[in-house]
C-alpha cells in the first residue's frame, strides 16, 4: 500500500495484520455483551425505584465494559511491526464513552414506549457513544507512526454504529419481556447484534492509515504496554462481568438464597479479577519506571566517563604534533563530544531511542540548570579544539580551550554525580511503590477472599447444612408416611378380605332362602310375587358374584403364593379347561403359541389367562371367537398377548378398563362386575410387570402383559 | 334298615344353615329324623346322653360344622373318634371352610368325609341329597347294639 504524503513523496504505509484468535474472542465478547444487554433491558424495564437505578448503573457498566472490551480485543488483535503503547487515561475515557452509550441504550429500551423519534435519538446517541469510544480508543495508541483517517470510511463506521444501534434498540425493546434465559429469538438477536458491533469496529480500523515516522507521537508520560497478561485480564474480566449478568438471571426461584450467593460469588470474582488486572498493569507500569530510571543512571554515569574522555582527548590534541595524528585525535574528540551532547539532551528531554523516555523532576531540572554553564563552556571549548585540531597549521595555541575544559570538568563531574544520585533517589520511589503495590494487592485479594468466605461460603455452608437437615427430616417423615401407608394398606387389604369373607355368610342366607322361596312358591303366589322373588334372587346372585370377585381381588395380594418357575403353557391350558363350557357354547377356537416358563405364581397366572380368555369369549360379536394366545421375549421381559376378534374397545377407554368397577356395558348387554381386569392388572403388577391393551372397535382387541424375566 | 327312621345329628350353630339342611332332608326320599345341636358341648352331651339329653337316640350319621361356639367341631370330632362307643358313627364334616389345612386335619382325626358347603342353593341341595344317597342308602352301616337304651 502506497500513500502520497503532503510533500508528494511516496511513503510506504504500515501494514497491520490481525491475530484471528483475538478477533474471534472479540466477536464472542460482542455476542455475550449483546445477550447481556437483552437480559439487562428486561431487568431495567421491570425494576422500580432504587432497584431500577441499580440495574441501570450496573447494567450500563457491565454492558459498556463488554462493548469496550470487545473493542480493545479488536485493537490488540491488530498487530503492527512497530511497538504500540496505550495512553491509559485516554483508554479510561473510551471506557466511559462505552458505558454512557450503554446507559443511553438501556434508558431508551426500558421506557414503556419507543417511538420513531426516541428510537432515532437513542440510536444516534448510542451509536455516537460507540463511535466516540472507538476513536478515543484509537487516539490512545502511542507508536512511532503517523495516523491518518480516510474520511469516507470514518463516516461509514459512524453510520454503521448508528444503524446497528437502531437495530439493537429495536430488537432489545421487543424481546425485553422474554423471561426465558435461553430462547432462540433472543439468542438470534444477540448473535445479530454481537456480529454487528465488530462490523462497525473493523470498518473503523480500516479507516485508519498508519505512516511510519521517527519518534513516537503524543505524550508518552502515561503510556503503557499491554502485555499478553493484560489481554488475558481484559478477557477474563469481561467474561466474569457478563457471566455475572447471566447468572443473576438464572432462575433459582425456589432458592433465592442460592441466587443471591451466586451473585455475590461472581461479584467477588469480578472484584478479584479487576484487582489482579489493575495490579498487574500498575506493577508493570512501575517496573517500567524503575527500568527507565536505571537507564538514566547508566547514561549519567556514562556522561562522566565521556567528559573524562573529552579531557583526555583535548590534552592529546594539544600535545599532538600537527598533521595526520592530530587530525585523528581531533576526529575521536569530535565523535565523543557528539555522543556526549546527544546523551545530555536525552537526559534533559528524553529520547526513546536511548531508552530515556520521560520528563525530569523539578529537582533534576534545577540540577541540570546548575550544570548547564559548565556543560556549555566545555562543549564550546571542545568544539574549538575540534575545529582547530582539524586544521593542518602547525602552530596553534590550544591552551585556552584545554584550560577551560580542565577548569570546568571537576564541577561538571560533581554536578553529574549529583544528578545520578538524584536519579538513584527517584528510582527507589517507584521501586518501593512497586513492592508496596504488590503487597497491597496481595492483601486486598486476600481481603476479598476473606469477605467472600464470610458473605458467600459461610451462608452457603449454613444453607447447605440447613438443606441437609431439612432433607433428613423430610426423609424421615417420608419414611414414616410410607410405613404408615404400607401398614394401612395391609390393614385395608385384610379388612377387604375379612369383610368380603364375612359378608359371604349372611349373603348366602339371603341367596339360599330367596332361591328356596322361588323353588317352593313360584307360581303359587300371584305374578307380582314371582317378579319380586325374581329380582331378589337376581340381586343376591349378583352380589355373590361381586363379593367372590372382590375376594379374589384382595386375595391376589394377601393369599398369593411365592413366585417360582411356572410353565405358562400349563397355566394357559388349565384356564382353557376351566373355560371349556363357554368355549364350546360360543364355538370359539383358542390357539396357543409356544409359551415360556416364567417366574410366577402359577395359580394367579392361570387366573390371569382365564380372565383374559374369558373376556375374549364374553365380549364377542356375531362371529365365532378366534382367540390367539402368544408370547415373545424382549430384553427384559416375556411379552404375552391374548388376541381376539370381538367387539373391541375405543381407545379412550384403554386405561379405564383396568380400574376397579369400571364397566363399558350395561348388564343387559354383558354381565360382569368390572373387577376381572382389575384383578389381571393386580396380578401382573404383583409380578413386577404391566398390562395394556390395543384395540380397534369392531375388529377385536389384543391384551398384552409383560412379566419380567427372572 | 330302610324301613326305620334314620337318626341324624346336625351340629350347626347357624339356624339358617340348620334349617336349610333340614329343608333339604325334607325333600329327600329317606325317612329321617334330624336333631340340631348348636355347639360342641351340647353335641357331646347329646351323644353321651347327659342331661338334659338322657333320652337321646344314638344317631346313624353326624353332620358336623367346624366353626362352633364353646367347643369347636375339630374338638368334637377328636372326642367322638377317641370314644370307643361313638367312633363307629360316620361323621360328615359339612362346613364353609375350603381350607386345605382344615381338610387335612379333619381326615387325620378320622372324619369319614369332608364336604365344603356350596354357596348356591341348587348345589347345596344336590350335596345334601348326595349325602343322603350315599350314607343312608348305599352304605351299609353297623347295627346299633345299644340303640334304644334308656
Choice among A23-32, A80-89, A606-615, B28-37 with the minimum mean pLDDT: A80-89
Which long-range contacts does A654-660 make (Cβ < 8 Å, 24+ apart)?
A654/A692, A654/A693, A654/A695, A657/A693, A658/A691, A660/A553
Pick from A100, A87, A85: nearest CA to A132: A100
CA A276, CA A281: separation in Å to the nearest integer?
9
Indicate whether A629 pLDDT > 70: yes
Query: Tell me, what's the pLDDT at B1?
Result: 45
Per-residue pLDDT at A284 exceeds 80: no
The answer to whether A513 contacts B20, with C-beta atoms less than 8 Å apart, is: yes
- Find the residue in A nearest to B119 (Cα): A508
Nearest to B119 among A508, A513, A516 (CB): A508
- In 3D space, the residue among A552, A562, A572 whose CA is nearest the CA of residue A640 turns out to be A572
Q: Which of A696, A617, A602, A610 is nearest to A649 (CA)?
A: A696
User: Which of the residue ranges A327-336, A431-440, A487-496, A587-596 has the most confident prediction, judged by mean pLDDT?
Assistant: A587-596
Q: Within an 8 Å CB–CB cutoff, is residue B46 touching chain A?
A: no
At A366, list the grid cell.
534545577
A501 vs A207 pLDDT, higher one: A207
Q: Which residue has the higher pLDDT, A657 or A224?
A: A657
* List of residues 6+ apart from A707 with CB closer than 8 A: A598, A599, A600, A637, A638, A640, A684, A687, A688, A689
Residue B106 has pLDDT above 80, yes or no: yes
Chain A residue with CA closest to B95: the answer is A505
Q: Give the list of residues 6+ apart from residue A568 with CB closer than 8 angstroms, or none.
A: A595, A596, A597, A598, A600, A605, A609, A631, A638, A640
Q: Which residues of A touch B20 (CB under 8 A)?
A: 512-513, 516
pTM as predicted: 0.42
The better pLDDT of the pair A217, A625 is held by A625
B3: pLDDT confidence band, cut at 50, 70 and 90?
low
What span, in angstroms and rounded, lies between the C-alpha atoms of A136 and A69?
Answer: 14
Report which of residues A628 and A670 the model is more confident about: A628
Could you give the CA distance from residue A535 to residue A475 in angstroms, rounded to a whole number? 55
Task: Name the residue facing B121 among A504, A505, A515 (closest C-beta).
Answer: A515
More confident residue, A294 or B42: B42
Share of chain A above pLDDT 90, in %: 7
Confidence check: pLDDT of B148 > 50: no
H/E segment holding residue A370: helix A362-389
Residue of B nearest to A515 (CA): B121
DSSP-derived letter for residue A659 is S
The confidence score (pLDDT) of residue A693 equals: 92
pLDDT at A609 over 80: yes
Look at A448 and A558; give whichever has higher pLDDT: A448
Peptide bond into A662 cis (omega under 30): no
Tens of pLDDT, residue by residue over A529-566, are 888 888 888 888 888 888 888 878 877 777 778 888 98
Q: Give the whole-number percent of chain A exceeding pLDDT 70.
A: 87
From B14, B119, B121, residue closest to A516, measured CB to CB = B121
Q: Which residues pair with A708 in a beta bridge?
A: A637
Q: What gap in Å lies between CA A662 and CA A664, rounded to an integer?
A: 7
Residues from chain A contacting residue B12 (CB–CB below 8 Å):
none
Q: Which residue in A661, A660, A673 sits closest to A543, CA to CA? A: A673
Q: Would you call A606 helix, strand, or coil by DSSP?
A: helix
Which of B16, B23, B120 is the closest to A509 by Cβ? B16
Interval A79-98 mean pLDDT: 79
So what's the pLDDT on residue A5? Answer: 40
Q: Which three cell numbers stand for residue B12?
A: 350347626
Integer angstrom CA distances of residue A5 from A147, A668, A694: 12, 109, 88
Q: Which residue of B has its CA nearest to A502?
A: B96
Q: Which of A505, A512, A544 comes nearest B124 by C-beta? A: A512
A623 CB contacts (<8 Å, ≥6 apart)? A645
More confident residue, A618 or A319: A618
pLDDT digits (tens, 9 = 90+) for A465-480: 888 888 899 999 999 9
The Cβ of residue A336 has, within 10 Å, a number of other Cβ atoms equal to: 20
Among the ranges given (A243-252, A592-601, A633-642), the one the predictor scored with the smallest mean pLDDT: A243-252
Dist. CA A159–CA A131, nearest whole Å: 9
Does pLDDT of A665 surpass 80? no
Alpha carbon distance A530, A526 (integer Å):
7
Mean pLDDT lowest among A350-354, A510-514, A609-613: A350-354
pLDDT (average), residues A371-383: 86
| Cα A455 to Cα A473: distance, rounded to the nearest angstrom | 27
| A48 within 8 A of A209, measured Cβ to Cβ | no
Q: Is pLDDT of A157 > 80?
A: yes
> Which of the pair, A590 or A186, is modelled with greater confidence?
A590
Give the residue from B119, B126, B128 with the most A CB atoms within 10 Å of its CB, the best one to mutate.
B119
Grid cell locating A608 = 390371569
Contacts with B120 from chain A: Cβ below 8 Å:
511, 515
Residue with cell 340348620: B18
Nearest CA distance, B43 vs chain A (angstrom): 23
Position B64 scores a pLDDT of 92
Q: Do A519 and B14 touch (CB under 8 A)?
A: no
Nearest-neighbour CA in chain B from A476: distance (Å): 41
How far does Cα A200 stand from its chain's mean position? Answer: 25
Instruction: Examine the pLDDT at A585 and tell me if it is beyond 80.
Output: yes
At A392, is the pLDDT very low, low, confident or very high (cuts 50, 70, 90)? low
Contact call for B121 and A511, based on CB within 8 A: yes
Which residue in chain A has the smallest CA separation from B124?
A: A512
The answer, yes or no, to whether residue A219 has pLDDT greater than 70, is: no
pLDDT, mean of residues A258-274: 73
Nearest to B122 by CA among B114, B130, B132: B130
Q: Per-residue pLDDT for B10 more than 90?
A: yes
d(CA A172, CA A110) in angstroms, rounded, equals: 9
Band of the pLDDT at A514, cuts 50, 70, 90?
confident
pLDDT in tens, B119-145: 788 888 888 888 888 888 888 777 765
Residues in chain A: 710
Mean pLDDT, chain A, whole residue set: 80
Nearest residue of A to residue B23, measured between CA atoms: A516
Check: CB of residue A638 under 8 Å from CB of residue A596. yes
Q: How confident is the model at residue B11 (pLDDT cuts 50, 70, 90)?
A: very high
Most confident of A13-27, A87-101, A315-329: A87-101
Q: How near does any CA of chain A get to the CA of B146, in Å?
A: 38
**What's the whole-number mean pLDDT along residues A560-580?**
88
To test the contact with chain A by mutation, choose from B18, B121, B123, B128 the residue with the greatest count of A C-beta atoms within 10 A, namely B121
What's the CA gap between A236 and A239, in Å, rounded?
5
Mutation test of the interface with chain B: which of A501, A503, A509, A512, choosing the one with the most B Cβ atoms within 10 A?
A512
pLDDT band at A628; cut points 50, 70, 90: very high
Amino acid at each position: 500500500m502506497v500513500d502520497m504524503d503532503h510533500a508528494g513523496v511516496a511513503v510506504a504505509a504500515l501494514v497491520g495484520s490481525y491475530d484471528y484468535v483475538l478477533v474471534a474472542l472479540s466477536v464472542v465478547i460482542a455476542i455475550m455483551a449483546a445477550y447481556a444487554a437483552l437480559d439487562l433491558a428486561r431487568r431495567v424495564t421491570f425494576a422500580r425505584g432504587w432497584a431500577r437505578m441499580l440495574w441501570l448503573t450496573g447494567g450500563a457498566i457491565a454492558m459498556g465494559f463488554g462493548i469496550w472490551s470487545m473493542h480493545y480485543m479488536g485493537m490488540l488483535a491488530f498487530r503492527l511491526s512497530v511497538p504500540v503503547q496505550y495512553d491509559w487515561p485516554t483508554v479510561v475515557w473510551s471506557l466511559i464513552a462505552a458505558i454512557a452509550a450503554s446507559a443511553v441504550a438501556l434508558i431508551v429500551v426500558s421506557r414503556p414506549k419507543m417511538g420513531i423519534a426516541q428510537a432515532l435519538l437513542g440510536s444516534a446517541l448510542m451509536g455516537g457513544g460507540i463511535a466516540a469510544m472507538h476513536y478515543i480508543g484509537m487516539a490512545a495508541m502511542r507508536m512511532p507512526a503517523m495516523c491518518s483517517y480516510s474520511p469516507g470510511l470514518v463516516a461509514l463506521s459512524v453510520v454503521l454504529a448508528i444503524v446497528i444501534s437502531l437495530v439493537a434498540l429495536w430488537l432489545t425493546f421487543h424481546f425485553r419481556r422474554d423471561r426465558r434465559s435461553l430462547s432462540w429469538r433472543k439468542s438470534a438477536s444477540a448473535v445479530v447484534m454481537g456480529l454487528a458491533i465488530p462490523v462497525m469496529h473493523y470498518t473503523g480500523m480500516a479507516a485508519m492509515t498508519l505512516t511510519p515516522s521517527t519518534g513516537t507521537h503524543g505524550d508518552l508520560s502515561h503510556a503503557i504496554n499491554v502485555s499478553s497478561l493484560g489481554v488475558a485480564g481484559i478477557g477474563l474480566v469481561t467474561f466474569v462481568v457478563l457471566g455475572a449478568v447471566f447468572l443473576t438471571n438464572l432462575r433459582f426461584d425456589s432458592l433465592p438464597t442460592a441466587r443471591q450467593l451466586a451473585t455475590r460469588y461472581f461479584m467477588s470474582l469480578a472484584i478479584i479479577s479487576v484487582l489482579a488486572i489493575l495490579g498487574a498493569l500498575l506493577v508493570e507500569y512501575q517496573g517500567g519506571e524503575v527500568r527507565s530510571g536505571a537507564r538514566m543512571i547508566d547514561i549519567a554515569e556514562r556522561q562522566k566517563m565521556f567528559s573524562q574522555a573529552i579531557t583526555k582527548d583535548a590534552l592529546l590534541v594539544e600535545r599532538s604534533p600537527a598533521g595526520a595524528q592530530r587530525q585523528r585525535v581531533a576526529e575521536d574528540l569530535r565523535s565523543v563530544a557528539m555522543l556526549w551532547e546527544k546523551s545530555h539532551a536525552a537526559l534533559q528531554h528524553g529520547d526513546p531511542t536511548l531508552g530515556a523516555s520521560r520528563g525530569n523532576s523539578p529537582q533534576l531540572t534545577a540540577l541540570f540548570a546548575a550544570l548547564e554553564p559548565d556543560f556549555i563552556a566545555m562543549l564550546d571549548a571542545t568544539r574549538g579544539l575540534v575545529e582547530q585540531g582539524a586544521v593542518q597549521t602547525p602552530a596553534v595555541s590550544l591552551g585556552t580551550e584545554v584550560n577551560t575544559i580542565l577548569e570546568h570538568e571537576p564541577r561538571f563531574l560533581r554536578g553529574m554525580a549529583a544528578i545520578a544520585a538524584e536519579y538513584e533517589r527517584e528510582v527507589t520511589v517507584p521501586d518501593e511503590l512497586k513492592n508496596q503495590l504488590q503487597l497491597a494487592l496481595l492483601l486486598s485479594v486476600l481481603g476479598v477472599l476473606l469477605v467472600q468466605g464470610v458473605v458467600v461460603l459461610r451462608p452457603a455452608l449454613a444453607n447447605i447444612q440447613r438443606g441437609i437437615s431439612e432433607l433428613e427430616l423430610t426423609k424421615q417423615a417420608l419414611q414414616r408416611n410410607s410405613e404408615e401407608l404400607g401398614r394401612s394398606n395391609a390393614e385395608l387389604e385384610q379388612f377387604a378380605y375379612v369383610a368380603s369373607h364375612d359378608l359371604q355368610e349372611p349373603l348366602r342366607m339371603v341367596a339360599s332362602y330367596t332361591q328356596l322361596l322361588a323353588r317352593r312358591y313360584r307360581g303359587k303366589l300371584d305374578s307380582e310375587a314371582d317378579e319380586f322373588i325374581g329380582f331378589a334372587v337376581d340381586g343376591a346372585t349378583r352380589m355373590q358374584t361381586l363379593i367372590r370377585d372382590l375376594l379374589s381381588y384382595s386375595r391376589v395380594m394377601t393369599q398369593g403364593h411365592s413366585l417360582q418357575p411356572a410353565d405358562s403353557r400349563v397355566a394357559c391350558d388349565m384356564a382353557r379347561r376351566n373355560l371349556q363350557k363357554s368355549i364350546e357354547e360360543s364355538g370359539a377356537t383358542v390357539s396357543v403359541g409356544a409359551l415360556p416358563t416364567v417366574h410366577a405364581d402359577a395359580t394367579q397366572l392361570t387366573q390371569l389367562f382365564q380372565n383374559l380368555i374369558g373376556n375374549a369369549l364374553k365380549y364377542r360379536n356375531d362371529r365365532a371367537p378366534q382367540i390367539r394366545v402368544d408370547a415373545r421375549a424382549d430384553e427384559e421381559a416375556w411379552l404375552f398377548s391374548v388376541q381376539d376378534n370381538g367387539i373391541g374397545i375405543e381407545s379412550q377407554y384403554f386405561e379405564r378398563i383396568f380400574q376397579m368397577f369400571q364397566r363399558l356395558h350395561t348388564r343387559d348387554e354383558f354381565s360382569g362386575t368390572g373387577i376381572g381386569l382389575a384383578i389381571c392388572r393386580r396380578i401382573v403388577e404383583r409380578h413386577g410387570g404391566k398390562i395394556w391393551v390395543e384395540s380397534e372397535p369392531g375388529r377385536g382387541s389384543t391384551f398384552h402383559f409383560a412379566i419380567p424375566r427372572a | 334298615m330302610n324301613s326305620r327312621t334314620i337318626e341324624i345329628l346336625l351340629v350347626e350353630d347357624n339356624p339358617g344353615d340348620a334349617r336349610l339342611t333340614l329343608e333339604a332332608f325334607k325333600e329327600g326320599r329317606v325317612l329321617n329324623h334330624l336333631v340340631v345341636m348348636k355347639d360342641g358341648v351340647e353335641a357331646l352331651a347329646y351323644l353321651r346322653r347327659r342331661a338334659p339329653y338322657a333320652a337321646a337316640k344314638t344317631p346313624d350319621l353326624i353332620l358336623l360344622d367346624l366353626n362352633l361356639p364353646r367347643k369347636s367341631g375339630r374338638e368334637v370330632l377328636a372326642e367322638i373318634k377317641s370314644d370307643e362307643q361313638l367312633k363307629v358313627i360316620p361323621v360328615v364334616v359339612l362346613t364353609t371352610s375350603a381350607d386345605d389345612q382344615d381338610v387335612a386335619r379333619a381326615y387325620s382325626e378320622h372324619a369319614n368325609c369332608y364336604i365344603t358347603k356350596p354357596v348356591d342353593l341348587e348345589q347345596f341341595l344336590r350335596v345334601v341329597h348326595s349325602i343322603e344317597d350315599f350314607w343312608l342308602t348305599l352304605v351299609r352301616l353297623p347295627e346299633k347294639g345299644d340303640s334304644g337304651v334308656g
